[in-house]
Amino acid sequence: MTERNLTGRTFRPWTYEVGIEKIREFATALGHGEACYFDREVARSMGFRDVVAPPMFAVVFCKWMGPAVRHPDVGIDYARMLHGGQEFEFGAPVCHGDVITTSAAVADVYAKRDLEFFVFSSHSANQFGETVADGRWTMIVRGSDGQA
C-alpha cells in the first residue's frame, strides 16, 4: 500500500492540438453521425467556430491523465491496474484547431481490502482560457500476496 501522502500533488500541464481528422475518427468510432462532427459549414451554421468534437473527446486530450498516472512518485503498477471509472463536467465546446491544456492532481489515495484506489482530478482549458472539461479519474491497483 502507498505510504506516501500524494493527495494534492500536482503535475506539469500538457497540451493537445485538436485535429479535424481526429474528431472525425472519434465520432465515427463512437457511431456519431451528426454532420457537425464532420462538416465545417454545418458546424459553423450551428454556431461553432469549426468542426466540433463530441463531448467525450475529452478522453483523447486528457490522454489517460498522462504525466499524473505515469509519474514514478505515484508508483502505479500497470500490470495490476484496472480502470475504475471516469466522470466529466463539460464546459465550452471543443473545436478543430483548439489547443487544449490539461492539468492534473491527485485528489485521493485510499485502500480497501487488497485494493488501492488512486483518484485524480483534471482541468482542461482551451486557448481562450475557457474550461472545456473537468474530470475525475479512478484507477484501482490490485494487490498481490496481501499487498496492493
Domain assignment present for residue 100? The answer is yes
Domain assignment present for residue 55? The answer is no
Domain assignment present for residue 67? The answer is yes
pLDDT per residue rounded down to tens, the chain (148 residues):
555 688 888 988 999 999 999 999 999 999 999 999 999 999 999 999 999 999 999 999 987 677 787 788 888 888 898 889 999 999 999 999 999 999 999 999 999 999 999 999 999 999 999 999 999 999 999 985 445 4
Domain extent, residue 132, equals 10-17+62-142
Q: What is the 3-state secondary structure (H, E, C) of 13-40?
A: EEEEECCHHHHHHHHHHCCCCCHHHCCH
Domain assignment present for residue 123? The answer is yes
d(CA 74, CA 65): 12
Full-model pTM: 0.88
Domain assignment present for residue 27? The answer is no
Domain assignment present for residue 36? The answer is no
Domain assignment present for residue 133? The answer is yes
Domain assignment present for residue 95? The answer is yes
How many domains would you assign to the chain? Answer: 1
Helices (H) and strands (E) in the chain, counts: 4, 5
The CATH number linked to 100 is 3.10.129.10
d(CA 53, CA 72): 32
